[in-house]
Amino acid sequence: MDSSATNRPAMDDGTADLADVGRRLRALREERGLSLSELARRAGVGKATLSGLEAGTRNPTLETLWAVTGELGVPLTALFTRPPGQSTEPDSPVFHGESVEATLLRVFDDETVTYELYQVRFPAGTAQTSPPHPPGVTEHLTVFAGTLLAGPIGSLREAGPGDYVTWRSDVPHGYRVIGGQDVHASLLLRYPRR
Amino acid sequence: MDSSATNRPAMDDGTADLADVGRRLRALREERGLSLSELARRAGVGKATLSGLEAGTRNPTLETLWAVTGELGVPLTALFTRPPGQSTEPDSPVFHGESVEATLLRVFDDETVTYELYQVRFPAGTAQTSPPHPPGVTEHLTVFAGTLLAGPIGSLREAGPGDYVTWRSDVPHGYRVIGGQDVHASLLLRYPRR
DNA sequence: CCCCGTCGTTCCATAAACGGAACGTTTCGT
DNA sequence: ACGAAACGTTCCGTTTATGGAACGACGGGG
């Protein structure tokens, strides 16, 4: 499905498959001591729906998810956010250790422009290049910890804690971590609209 | 603006309705310069599906949402974040100054330094001064929308959309909004520790 | 022991979300 | 000016998510 040429940072929103969502939902229900039947009745959904949802054999509708999470009193995000403690699989450190993690903090829509604010983490040793974005897009990186080179390929700039780097991202650009420390940074993407 | 120890991303995922999700999805698509047809093709969903989804006339399936947001490169959460200017979660750390509204997005604790990332909103016409902070504290302001003067009193600098201003805040400093537009910005506070 | 209420799963007809095709419109390049 | 391509919307047959009902399993009380 995603086999196209799109290259994007690995979004750590805990995106999982239907089975994971089902497990999380069941855990949330059982924490509250609710039976499946009772939660289904309160949320106004069928028992079959909830049963299949928790088993991971159904592909729920957004309204169904809203109904259930609303009754559980949790935001929809709770179904996709990993509970603390099992954030990463212990037996697959390679994938987590070598990919950039980006979490979308905010999206700001304006009449003429949109901003996306990410918190990103580059593990030590990371080097990644990104293809050009549409014209006019700019990136604004504020470093919190660690040091890296970032910017357009060929004119990378060094940025350490507290530093701020910006560049037009309609050309190939990338990042390379310097030193043995992970880099934490805030990345602001600016998308002007015609 | 106090530094409470709560490390909690104030991610609005309010209870939006289908029309809101559709609007947000359309905005995310258009800021990338993608046509509806192309996004549908890349994401592997029907054009009718995407059209109805953006119009708010459909009740999408979780797999459909994953396909589309995955292709857009945003977490599912991006569809549920409120547009700026709306109220935030009731228990999120929101601080109201005279007229400034600041929301703590993130706290980063390091061995030697602490960062606090805020999203702030200065209503049009706002002018406010802040007393000095402890020595070594710096402020880093990234403007999202609107224009303002910010920095130490006596050497205010102008900053418009996309601009970045920083200053040492161990002296009296302040902000003054220019023009009739509200200012949205990201404010990073850096607290070095001995 | 038996009854009865509740548990979670499975079966089923209905409603609706889905993808493909056709449509009218707009935007190009020739 | 014309034709071709791409745009977003609408129509339509197929697929599938849904809620109600029926099911067997379990457990407590009379």
What does the domain layout of chain A look like in residue ranges?
A: 3-79, 94-192
pLDDT digits (tens, 9 = 90+) for A36-95: 999 999 999 999 999 999 999 999 999 999 999 888 877 787 787 544 333 332 222 222
Reported pTM = 0.55
By the CB < 8 Å criterion, does A147 face chain B? no
pLDDT digits (tens, 9 = 90+) for A102-147: 766 666 555 556 667 776 778 888 787 776 666 667 788 877 678 8
Mean pLDDT, chain A, whole residue set = 71
Say yes or no: Cβ of B45 under 7 A from any atom of strand D: no
Using an 8 Å Cβ cutoff, are A116 and A140 in contact? no
With 50 as the cut, is the pLDDT of residue B92 above it?
A: no
pLDDT of residue A6: 28
**Architecture of the domain delimited by B3-79:** Orthogonal Bundle (1.10)
Q: How far is CA A8 from the centre of its chain?
A: 11
- The CA–C1' separation of A37 and C8, in angstroms, is 8
Decide if A11 and B161 are in contact by the 8 Å CB cutoff. no
Nearest Cα to Cα of residue B150 among B137, B136, B140: B140
By the CB < 8 Å criterion, does B130 face chain A? no
Q: How far is CA B41 from CA A4, A62, B21, B34, B38, in A?
A: 11, 22, 20, 11, 5
- CATH of span B94-192: 2.60.120.10
Tell me the mean pLDDT in the region B34-52. Answer: 93
